């Protein structure tokens, strides 16, 4: 039987120095209840860490609101929330969408209402850091008129010029336990963004895909990931060559658009990003 294992990432653009922290988080996860529990537990830890852009510390939209996306997936099911607000751990709500409703995805007010019915209390995920970042972003945008620059490439250039802090992106986990696979992802989005913008995270096959052969989750520029159905595309190639070669080839096709992936299969795991990306891995 394959070794039980979990692999985490802190987002495309996250500081590589965070990898040591992610290793500790990976080791702290209880794997006794299975792959889904392990992934959800790991992502919950990352949501509670304000240094990552998920849950507490999620970046704000241009209107100052905080809308978060999260998803969980196993071979037998999927659940996600889109644009959920005022909850501490969106990944837990996404799991309950999968387990407690006839639906796959809940969004906006419906997701919030469901969370309240499931016992999730009111919670403000904002921090002083995210408030500061939002104010600087607004000041920057006001300085160039009403137009919004292209994400990442142009925004990174302006961020360096005007000292606007960049957000790291999605956090995620994949696990293989008892021969079963699972994945979980969560994000506050990628600044600057309009209210209502949806990235790859809550869309099956885009930011996450899990099946009998393995689990894949992505991070980076959501619009580009969606166009390529990246995670499903990688999943369909599992077993045809080494996992790292598959991931590297797919990501290299994005050019200078920042994208990263972690994946786990029957007897291998891999991570690759065309920008910095903190990761943590543990074999149980």
CATH number where 258 lies: 3.60.20.30
Would you state the pLDDT for residue 163?
A: 53
Whether 146 is in a domain gets the answer: no
Q: How would residue 31 be classed by pLDDT, with cut points 50, 70 and 90?
A: confident
Whether 276 is in a domain gets the answer: yes
Give the domain range for residue 244: 5-125+166-283
Tokens of 40: 């959800």
Whole-structure pTM value: 0.88
Distance CA 49, CA 47 (A): 6
Distance CA 197, CA 276 (A): 24
Distance CA 161, CA 206 (A): 32
Contact (CB, 8 A) for 4 and 283: yes
List the catalytic residues. 170
Whether 67 is in a domain gets the answer: yes
Whether 50 is in a domain gets the answer: yes
Whether 274 is in a domain gets the answer: yes
Q: How many residues does the chain have?
A: 284
Whether 142 is in a domain gets the answer: no
Q: Which of 230, 238, 191 is nearest to 208 (CA)?
A: 230
Whether 81 is in a domain gets the answer: yes
Q: Is the pLDDT of residue 233 over 80?
A: yes
Which of helix, strand or coil describes residue 204? strand
Would you state the pLDDT for residue 138?
A: 63
Task: List, as one string, the DSSP characters of 145-170.
Answer: -S--PPTTHHHHHHHHHHTPPPPP--
* Domains held by the chain: number: 1
**For 94-99, what is the mean pLDDT?**
98
Whether 183 is in a domain gets the answer: yes
């Amino acid at each position: 039987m394959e070794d039980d294992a979990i692999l985490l990432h802190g987002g495309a653009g996250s500081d590589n120095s965070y990898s040591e922290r992610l290793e500790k988080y990976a080791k702290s996860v209880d794997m006794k209840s299975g792959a889904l529990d392990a992934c959800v537990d790991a992502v919950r830890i990352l949501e509670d860490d304000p240094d990552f852009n998920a849950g507490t510390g999620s970046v704000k939209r241009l209107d100052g609101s905080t809308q978060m996306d999260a998803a969980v997936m196993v071979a037998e099911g999927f659940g996600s929330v889109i644009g959920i607000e005022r909850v501490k751990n969106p990944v837990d709500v996404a799991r309950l969408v999968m387990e407690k409703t006839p639906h796959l995805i809940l969004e906006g007010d419906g997701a919030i209402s469901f969370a309240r019915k499931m016992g999730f209390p009111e919670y403000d995920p904002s921090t002083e850091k995210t408030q500061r970042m939002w104010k600087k972003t607004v000041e920057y945008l006001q300085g160039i008129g009403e137009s919004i620059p292209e994400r990442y490439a142009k925004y990174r250039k302006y961020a360096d010029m005007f000292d606007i802090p960049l957000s790291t992106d999605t956090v995620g986990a994949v696990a293989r336990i008892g021969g079963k696979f699972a994945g979980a992802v969560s994000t506050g989005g990628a600044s600057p963004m309009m209210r209502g913008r949806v990235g790859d995270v809550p869309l099956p096959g885009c930011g996450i895909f899990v099946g009998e052969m393995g689990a894949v989750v992505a991070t980076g520029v959501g619009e580009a990931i969606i166009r390529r159905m990246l995670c499903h595309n990688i999943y369909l190639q599992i077993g045809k060559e080494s996992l790292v070669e598959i991931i590297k080839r797919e990501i290299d096709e994005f050019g200078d658009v920042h994208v990263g992936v972690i994946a786990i299969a029957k007897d291998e795991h891999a991570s690759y990003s065309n920008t910095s990306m903190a990761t943590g891995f543990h074999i149980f």
